[in-house]
Amino acid sequence: MIEVTNIFKSFDDNQVLKGVSATFEKGDTSMIIGSSGSGKTVFLKCLLGLFIPDEGDICYDGRHYSKMTTDEKINLRKEIGMVFQSGALFDSSTIEDNIMFPLKMFTKQSKEEMLERVNFVLARVNLKNVNKKFPGELSGGMQKRVAIARAIVMNPKYLFCDEPNSGLDPNTAIVIDNLIQEITDEYQMITIINSHDMNSVMEIGEKIIFLKDGLKAWEGSYKTIFKTDNKAVTDFVYSSDMFKKVREIYNKLD
């Protein structure tokens, strides 16, 4: 479990996080949503250890980040997989080398063992015959799959995704969402996704945290988000006509 307790984060005079608390459970796909500037990226970067909160604490399965030594922090990072919005694949390396990199860096596996693991994770994200290709030769959806494969190659306990569907067509986005959820169930990871894509929220939002102006404004799931009276959430969710109609249908059903 990841427990976030009352974290604050400022940049100069701009207070971005104003005391956010949350818990994330093993096997759950949790989503952090909110409009641009709400603090969700800063929140995710605090969880990743890229930003150190000014106040508050983050606890990873009983290990308090603020009390960890540098070596312990490095070891924690080996338990983290991250899927970036851009994919962040190493563009001068082949797909095989991209995925193999963490194995080369942190394990003592033989080349054959590493290759076997690379092929396994590539198969898991439904990619074939791409080992020797470079990221620039793949489509956006395929690059996201490679990013997921690289993120899970070390069997992480925690998977973080920053807008994994950004720039993808709706069909591919759903495939990526479902893939993330399947992998989370299969490996019993704690998965936290940063998104403002309502389709993803409806698809895999088992737990949803809504941030507004650096505060947690609401917490629920895709089952409850359409029923909430929280104005901040309704303003965000029903900003499109499609979801306004969905709400009408929900209300009629009720």
Partner 1 sequence: MLGHVFKKPQKGSIFYESLFKEIEELGLKSLGIVAFISFFVGGVVAIQTAINVDNPMIPKYLIGFATKRSIILEFAPTFMSVILAGKVGSYISSSIGTMRVTEQIDALEIMGVNALNYLVLPKIFASVLFFPFIVLLGMFLGIFGGWAAGYATGLFTSDDYIIGIREDFQPHLIRYSLIKTMVFAFVIATIPSFYGYYVKGGSLEVGKASTQAVVWTSVVIIILNYFLTQMMIG
| Closer residue to partner 1 in complex, CB, 67/108 | 108
- In whole angstroms, the minimum distance from the beta carbon of 151 to partner 1 comes to 9
Considering only residues 105-134, where is the footprint of partner 1 by CB under 8 A? 105-106
Residue 104 sits in the site that holds partner 1 (CB under 8 A): yes
| Closer residue to partner 1 in complex, CB, 70/171 | 70
**Residue of 56, 102, 140, 167 that binds partner 1 (CB under 8 A):** 102
Q: Site for partner 1 (CB under 8 A): how many residues?
A: 22
**Residue of 18, 26, 63, 78 that binds partner 1 (CB under 8 A):** 78
Residue 245 sits in the site that holds partner 1 (CB under 8 A): no
Q: Which stretch binds partner 1 (CB under 8 A): 3-11, 103-111, 182-190, 195-203?
A: 103-111
| Closer residue to partner 1 in complex, CB, 52/74 | 74
Residue 74 sits in the site that holds partner 1 (CB under 8 A): yes
The 3-state secondary structure of the chain reads CEEEEEEEEEECCEEEEEEEEEEECCCCEEEEECCCCCCHHHHHHHHHCCCCCCEEEEEECCEEHHHCCHHHHHHHHCCEEEECCCCCCCCCCCHHHHHHHHHHHHCCCCHHHHHHHHHHHHHHCCCCCCCCCCHHHCCHHHHHHHHHHHHHCCCCCEEEEECCCCCCCHHHHHHHHHHHHHHHHHHCCEEEEECCCHHHHHHHCCEEEEEECCEEEEEECCCCCCCCCCHHHHHHHCCCHHHHHHHHHHHHHC
Residue 68 sits in the site that holds partner 1 (CB under 8 A): no
Residue 50 sits in the site that holds partner 1 (CB under 8 A): yes
Q: Which stretch binds partner 1 (CB under 8 A): 83-91, 188-196, 215-223, 240-248?
A: 83-91
Q: Which residues bind partner 1 (CB under 8 A)?
A: 48-50, 74-78, 80, 82, 84-86, 88-91, 101-102, 104-106
